[in-house]
C-alpha cells in the first residue's frame, strides 16, 4: 500500500516508503485521503461526489463570512496536509486569495464557468455563483473531474455519482422556479444585507438589491441607504431579509428609515443563508436544503404563507 508523507510545503506519495520521522509527519496508508473545501457549499459537493472515499475537511463553518475570513494556524496545517483543495475563486475567499491561487494542490471550482455567464460589479466578478443551481452544477462537474484526475482508479465511480447528483440538482432548479412563480410579479424584489443574490435573481426572475456590494468588506454608504429606502417606499416592498453570516445592523437601520416614511415593511422571519450554510446534520446544512430554506422564506415573506402541503420537501 502507499504511505503518504507530509512535509512542510509539500505532499509526497511514495510506494512502500518507510515512515520518516525527521521534519515530517507520517500519515498511515489506511487513513483516508484528505480533501479540503473552503466553504460549506463546496464541501457538500465534494461529499456527494467522493462520498466515503475521502475525508472532507471544511475550512469555514456555519455563520462564517468568507469575504473576511482569516485562516488560523490549524487551517494552515490542514491546507498543508490536504491531498486536494477546492476553493470557490472569483475572490470569494478575500483574505486567502494569494495563498490559494499559488497553492500547487488547490483548484478553483468556478474555473470552467464561461466568463459571459458571470456577473460583475465595478470590474470584479461576483463570486456567489451557487445561487444559480445550473452554474453550481458546473462547479460540481469540475470537482468530479478533479477527483477523477487525482484518483483515476475511482474515476468511473466519481463520474457516475456526478451524473446522479446532476439530475437531483436539475430537479431542485425546476422546484425553485415553480416556487418563485407564487410571488406576484410586482413584489418580486429581494432586499438583503449584501449583494449576494444577484445570480439567484437573474436565474429565477427577481430584482435583487443589497445594502452592501458583493463583498461585505465595504460598508453601505448613506447615499445607498437613502436610495434603498426610497425603493422600499415607492415599490411598497413588504419585507427585507437578514443573512446568517452578515450582522443585521445595516438592515435594521434601513427598516427604521422606511418605517419612518410610512411604509409598513418588516424584517422577514428567519435568516437567509448566503455565504455559509446551516448547521451540520440539519437540512439547511446541505446545499439543496439551504436553497429550499431560502426559497421558502422569500416566498412566504413576499407572497404570504402557503398551505403546509405545498411546501418543498426537505432532504
Residue 262 CB neighbours (<10 A): 7
Does residue 125 belong to any structural domain of this protein? Answer: no
Percentage with pLDDT > 90 across the chain: 68
85 by Cβ neighbours in 10 Å (0-12 / 13-18 / 19+) ranks as buried
Does residue 107 belong to any structural domain of this protein? Answer: no
The answer to whether the CB of 104 falls within 8 A of the CB of 175 is: no
Does residue 36 belong to any structural domain of this protein? Answer: no
Q: Which pLDDT belongs to residue 307?
A: 45
Does residue 119 belong to any structural domain of this protein? Answer: no
Look at residue 21 and tell me whether its pLDDT is greater than 90.
no
All cell numbers assigned to 65: 463570512
Q: Residues 6 or more apart from 273 whose CB is under 8 A from it?
A: 243, 244, 245, 284, 290, 293, 294
Beta partners for residue 6, in sequence order: 11, 25
Does residue 281 belong to any structural domain of this protein? Answer: yes
CA distance linking residue 276 with residue 62, whole number of Å: 5
Does residue 136 belong to any structural domain of this protein? Answer: no
Percentage with pLDDT > 70 across the chain: 84
Look at residue 92 and tell me whether its pLDDT is greater than 70.
yes
Does residue 127 belong to any structural domain of this protein? Answer: no
Which residue has cell 478533479? 146
The answer to whether the CB of 65 falls within 8 A of the CB of 246 is: yes
Look at residue 115 and tell me whether its pLDDT is greater than 90.
yes
Look at residue 273 and tell me whether its pLDDT is greater than 60.
yes
Q: Residues 6 or more apart from 149 whose CB is under 8 A from it?
A: 155
Q: How many domains does the chain have?
A: 1
Looking up residue 187, the CATH number of its domain turns out to be 3.40.50.1980
Q: Which pLDDT belongs to residue 52?
A: 87
Q: What is the pLDDT of residues 184-205, one digit of tens each?
A: 999 999 998 878 999 999 999 9
Residue 215 lies in domain: 181-310
Look at residue 247 and tell me whether its pLDDT is greater than 90.
no
Does residue 269 belong to any structural domain of this protein? Answer: yes
C-alpha distances out from residue 85 to 39, 134, 137, 221, Å: 11, 23, 18, 36
Q: Which pLDDT belongs to residue 220?
A: 62
Q: Which pLDDT belongs to residue 78?
A: 95
Q: Which pLDDT belongs to residue 244?
A: 82
What mean pLDDT, rounded, does the chain reach? 85
Q: What is the pLDDT of residues 121-167, one digit of tens each?
A: 889 999 999 999 999 999 999 999 999 999 999 999 999 999 999 99
Least confident of 19-23, 103-107, 212-216, 303-307: 19-23
Look at residue 46 and tell me whether its pLDDT is greater than 70.
yes
Look at residue 67 and tell me whether its pLDDT is greater than 50.
yes
All cell numbers assigned to 6: 507530509
Q: Is the dihedral of CA 97, 102, 104, 110 positive or negative?
A: positive
Amino acid at each position: 500500500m502507499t504511505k503518504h508523507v507530509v512535509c512542510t510545503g509539500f505532499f509526497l506519495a511514495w510506494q512502500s516508503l518507510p515512515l520518516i520521522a525527521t521534519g515530517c509527519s507520517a500519515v498511515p496508508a489506511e487513513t483516508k485521503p484528505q480533501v479540503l473545501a473552503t466553504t460549506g457549499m463546496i464541501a457538500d459537493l465534494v461529499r456527494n461526489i467522493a462520498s466515503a472515499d475521502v475525508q472532507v475537511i471544511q475550512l469555514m463553518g456555519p455563520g462564517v463570512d468568507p469575504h473576511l475570513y482569516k485562516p488560523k494556524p490549524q487551517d494552515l496545517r490542514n491546507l498543508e496536509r490536504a491531498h486536494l483543495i477546492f476553493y470557490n475563486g472569483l475572490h470569494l475567499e478575500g483574505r486567502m486569495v494569494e495563498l490559494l491561487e499559488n497553492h500547487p494542490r488547490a483548484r478553483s471550482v468556478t474555473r470552467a464557468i464561461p466568463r459571459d455567464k458571470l456577473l460583475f460589479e465595478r470590474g470584479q466578478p461576483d463570486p456567489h455563483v451557487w445561487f444559480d443551481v445550473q452554474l453550481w452544477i458546473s462547479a460540481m462537474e469540475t470537482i468530479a473531474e478533479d477527483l477523477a484526475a487525482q484518483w483515476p482508479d475511482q474515476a468511473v465511480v466519481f463520474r457516475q455519482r456526478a451524473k446522479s447528483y446532476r439530475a437531483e440538482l436539475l430537479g431542485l432548479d425546476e422546484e425553485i422556479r415553480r416556487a418563485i412563480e407564487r410571488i406576484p410579479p410586482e413584489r418580486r424584489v429581494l432586499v438583503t444585507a449584501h449583494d449576494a443574490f444577484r445570480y439567484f435573481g437573474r436565474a429565477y426572475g427577481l430584482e435583487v438589491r443589497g445594502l452592501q456590494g458583493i463583498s461585505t468588506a465595504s460598508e453601505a454608504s448613506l447615499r445607498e441607504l437613502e436610495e434603498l429606502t426610497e425603493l422600499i417606499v415607492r415599490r411598497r416592498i413588504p419585507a427585507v431579509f437578514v443573512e446568517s453570516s452578515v450582522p443585521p445592523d445595516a438592515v435594521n437601520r434601513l427598516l427604521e428609515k422606511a418605517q419612518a416614511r410610512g411604509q409598513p415593511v418588516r424584517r422577514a422571519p428567519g435568516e437567509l443563508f448566503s455565504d455559509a450554510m446551516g448547521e451540520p446534520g440539519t437540512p439547511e446544512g446541505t446545499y439543496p436544503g439551504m436553497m429550499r430554506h431560502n426559497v421558502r422564506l422569500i416566498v412566504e415573506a413576499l407572497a404570504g404563507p402557503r398551505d403546509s402541503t405545498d411546501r418543498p420537501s426537505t432532504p
